Chains A and B, each alone.
Chain A
């Protein structure tokens, strides 16, 4: 790559040809504030916060998009640039909600940080505000346009990452707002509720629908037996809520904090992940033996399931009928566990801590109900758990590491842990299916071919003389070609893992928000750092295959009798229906 020589603030800078002033300045140690810019998502020069003075150019240029040129002279912090920047932020603030103190992003908001950085002191430009929309109808995502800065990150994300384009700009000029078509609610359109839009929102315009209050109520109700379960991906991100670097594994502290909050039982969803492998592995083997619908596709990602029901309802037969792990766990808790403990199932409250927004929608699915009860009563995102811990005054970083309750359901294998990352479900399944098919133990339980946070992954295995091709996709833009292949009848795969979020659950819509300044520097590495914690935990487990989980074996011996048997179908399996894309 050839180099370009320019001057920034009088300093000689060498930059890659084709790079932007923002990138060149960063490499030279100069920080230009930005707002709408998010690497790999938006580079549109829209907000005008990063405008800089360029010699011989009449108006200020946006550093995030302006390409460097030989002998260019740039002044990022001249009086003209500084005044312009503060003026731009003042204009944005003049059309912004002033409810910072009660906003969900209070102290974690890019606009707050920016206002502080450019030293805004006045409430300048008082005037009319754009007509507001507040949508909290859907179970997962809340949209509040009074806080929207029209950065376009959510628009690009939904369009490029999920190929859905649920959100877009509408009207024009001062009346512009971002929302679903005709400004409908998320609940009225084909939104997967994946929450990727929340993860990229710099402010509080998009956020999760909180259930903290309901959980606290349950905890304070002496008649309720409140059980909490934690998804694998939560331990990979929860530490960030307390200032720990990305990639800090906090399993022990997470358990300790949940216990101090007062949950009656603290279990790990990974137990149920092992259960899911038993059920799904068996289902797959049945389909292979009986020439059932193949390829079979995993069904533990509710965002992905929503997508299928909207966009590819004809492929419903390809979906595994297994519920997702936490839903399976809830079903077992409200049947086998409640019976064993002598508790009325109606008094068992199941709370799932999830990296996921779509699970808030999954828990209310009619198709999942057993005896009229929801398997899971409340879903808290990783972020909500962080807030709950703070509400209870728990000093997270100084907690000792504690272990889950072992009462009936504490054990889990390494295969269960890796459910939280793309390729993990597939690898977990292969670790059991391979053994079942060949009848032989595996010398190496690692299936590196399906790992990796970028792109579609595939692997071909030779099992008992059969060639089994598998694929792994994450995010709908990666999944779509695979689905079109199935539709066309040309899919070469027997088994496909699809997760709704890019990178899998470690980058779920409920995980810790990674702000632009960190994300622009790290790129996809932040996902790799979180993924590593799960693979590290996997290696540390005594058992790394689901079928070796002794408590799972006990569950079958004592209650379920056999995978995909009658009882399993009643409690642990579900069905799907086409959903209208537009109401």
Chain B
């Protein structure tokens, strides 16, 4: 039995910051000091505070280290593990708002204080590649309970009573979806886990699969039991190789212990799971396109009705649930629907995992009870906008969502509140924007993504989004007119109204949201030919403030188009706007702040 555990984050983010090498280094340092039998190094899933990764946690001391490099391994082992002296410079700390002193106690760190980790319960705690650790954390107990003490209908009722709603973006009541499928005549049915997570900036599902793959497998088996299915698919995007590997290991270990396969827990219930990889199409996150892809066809959505619960993959009744939805199912079965329903708001029970990104101090993964306000998430947990910049908006729901502004920050997050405010929960992506973001450019960015990802099946999305992108590009490049604005809004409504699937139906949301909330920025681009946030290159002018110019010529030497003229030491340098390509190299080069951008 070891006396100390060293947990190192092995999620994709920290791995790309060399956390795997951190693990190797710590191991080798331990061997040097002959500590390898007393101290165990464990690779875990995501701790959530990705901004500060790679993260190393020492237990039982409950000391968290951040920004750990392989070179720090020696010091951590020698000083903390061997001599018992934590390495202060690496410790994750917070500042007490009143005393302004450093806080070292992990339980008092603001980032974690308001979180409640249900879906992420085991992430950062267990080794995801060891089924024994999952079992030690009450893993597979829920499946056992369901198979040996409950009927399928009782399982569905429990999920219904919990109030669990889909976490993939639709927010559809999970229990109701399972009931539809269960009501279909007995026969071949399927359970699908949608792990295609395509929203830019979203990594909730990835982290759950990397950090706690078994919870998904266990919950899929529970779902299969509930609806009468013996076969499951995890459809996971190929861009998540670590998650795929962890799933494959988990499947193998679960099968070895008879927790998947035939006659699980001697109940007579068979269930096994197959992994299917995506091939780089955002649209395959749409459930019917996902089904097409599993069937080996081109990933184009099918009209609904019929819904997958009635006719899904291979034409059979199928339930498709998001990774995070499944991550909540086992806990609900284990701890009871009442417990789950006691968390959150009246119509949105439980917690939600958010991927905080953009202009935010604490980029990372957070899980909060529904009803937590946006202000709490962005400021208390997220640490607000860095560099003293002013908050402008927060974009939720990825390319399908809309923006929320300062005025909305005290709203409690839940499905219906966000829709009422003109956005949506989406899968959990939360991108914070500050004064340096151009909202027209943000809308254009999302439309560009949509145009690239549209499957091309239906005319409104295939052609309409392209036309909207052309209009947004015209606006950003100074060619927009009043007619462009009115055409853009009109077309946005039409595309929303006539598209075949959710991708097209929500493609207009960022445009419509920013048009409504930031009309003045659009107007500035169109009528003044100016970008207030100084982002849209075509609308910028770079100039040199004569009084500040030291005639050093640094700017001219760095200009790629020779647009700056002057005489070294003698004459003030001047930028020729006709040749200037607005790259900003002169502004970066000038040491005297003489280059202005407007």
Contacts and interface: CB of A to CB of B under 8 A. Distances in A.
Contacts of A49: 459
Contacts of A65: 303
Interface in B477-513: 491, 494, 496-500, 505
B323 interface: no
B467 A46 contact: no
State the main secondary structure of chain B at its contact with A: helix
B458 A47 contact: yes
Among A66, A92, A125, A128, find the residue whose CB has the most chain B CB atoms closer than 10 A. Answer: A125
Interface in A379-400: none
Contacts of A192: none
A150 interface: yes
A188 B454 CA distance: 30
Interface of B: 281, 283, 298, 300, 302-303, 305-306, 451-460, 462-467, 470, 491, 494, 496-500, 505
A237 to B, nearest CB: 32
B453 A173 contact: yes
A441 to B, nearest CB: 55
A552 to B, nearest CB: 52
Contacts of A84: 494, 497-498
19 contacts: A44-B303, A45-B458, A46-B500, A48-B460, A48-B498, A67-B305, A88-B498, A91-B467, A94-B463, A94-B467, A125-B463, A127-B467, A150-B456, A171-B456, A172-B283, A172-B455, A173-B453, A174-B466, A175-B456
Given A128-B466, A174-B451, A59 B459 contact: no
Interface string A506-529: 000000000000000000000000
Contacts of A149: 459
A122 to B, nearest CB: 11
Contacts of B455: 172-173, 176
A302 to B, nearest CB: 31
B184 to A, nearest CB: 16
Contact of B462 (A60, A62, A128, A150): A150
Contact of B459 (A48, A83, A128, A171): A48
Given A60-B497, A67-B305, A92-B463, 5 more contacts: A47-B458, A84-B497, A87-B491, A172-B455, A172-B456
Given A47-B459, A173-B451, A67 B466 contact: no
Contacts of B463: 91-92, 94-95, 125, 174
A127 B498 contact: no
Contact of A62 (B298, B303, B456, B467): B303
Given A47-B459, A92-B463, A127-B467, A62 B500 contact: yes
Interface residues of A, number: 36
A88 B303 contact: no
Contacts of B303: 44-45, 61-62, 65-66
A284 B254 CA distance: 65
A59 B304 CA distance: 11
A49 B456 CA distance: 15
A65 B281 CA distance: 25
Contact of B499 (A44, A59, A92, A94): A59
A91 B464 contact: yes
A80 interface: yes
A125 B462 CA distance: 13
Contacts of B467: 91, 94, 125, 127
Contact of B500 (A48, A128, A168): A48
A559 interface: no
Contacts of A60: 497-498
A44 B497 contact: no
Given A44-B303, A127-B470, A80 B497 contact: yes
Contacts of A276: none
Contacts of A45: 303, 458, 500
A128 B452 CA distance: 15
Contacts of A320: none
Contacts of A335: none
A51 interface: yes
A169 interface: yes
Contact of B454 (A92, A95, A168, A172): A172
User: Which of B465, B466, B491 counts the most A-chain CB atoms under 10 A from its CB?
Assistant: B466
Interface centre among B459, B464, B494, B499 (most CB of A within 10 A): B459
B499 A46 contact: no
B129 to A, nearest CB: 36
Contacts of A94: 463, 467
A173 B299 CA distance: 12
Contacts of A83: 494
A173 B491 contact: no
Interface in A147-187: 149-150, 168-169, 171-176
B458 A48 contact: yes
B309 to A, nearest CB: 15
Contacts of B458: 45-48
A221 B57 CA distance: 94
A173 B282 CA distance: 11
Interface string A25-48: 000000000000000000011111
Contacts of A169: 298, 300, 456
A77 B455 CA distance: 28
Contact of B306 (A62, A67, A172): A67
A168 B300 CA distance: 13
B456 A173 contact: yes
B494 A174 contact: no
Pairs of residues from A and B, 8 with the lowest C-beta to C-beta distance, nearest first: A176-B456, A173-B454, A45-B303, A91-B463, A174-B466, A87-B494, A65-B303, A127-B470
Contacts of B281: 172
Contacts of B462: 150, 173-174, 176
Contacts of A125: 463, 467, 491
B460 A88 contact: yes
B198 to A, nearest CB: 13
B197 to A, nearest CB: 19
A88 B470 contact: no
A84 B500 CA distance: 13
A176 B457 CA distance: 8
Contacts of A172: 281, 283, 453-456
Contacts of B499: 48, 59
A35 to B, nearest CB: 9
A44 B459 CA distance: 12
Contacts of A59: 496-499, 505
A59 B462 CA distance: 17
A51 B497 CA distance: 9
B459 A91 contact: yes
A77 to B, nearest CB: 15
A574 B33 CA distance: 88
A77 B491 CA distance: 19
Nearest to B299: A172
A169 B305 CA distance: 24
A88 B459 contact: yes
A516 to B, nearest CB: 16
B497 A127 contact: no
A341 to B, nearest CB: 58
A127 B466 contact: yes
Nearest to B466: A174
Contact of A51 (B452, B454, B498): B498
Given A125-B467, A150-B462, A176-B462, A87 B498 contact: yes
Contact of B457 (A44, A91, A92): A44
A90 B530 CA distance: 32
B298 to A, nearest CB: 6
Contacts of A44: 302-303, 457
Contacts of B305: 66-67
Contacts of A176: 455-456, 462
Contacts of B298: 168-169
Contacts of A128: 466, 470
A401 B458 CA distance: 49
A169 B458 CA distance: 12
Nearest to A64: B303
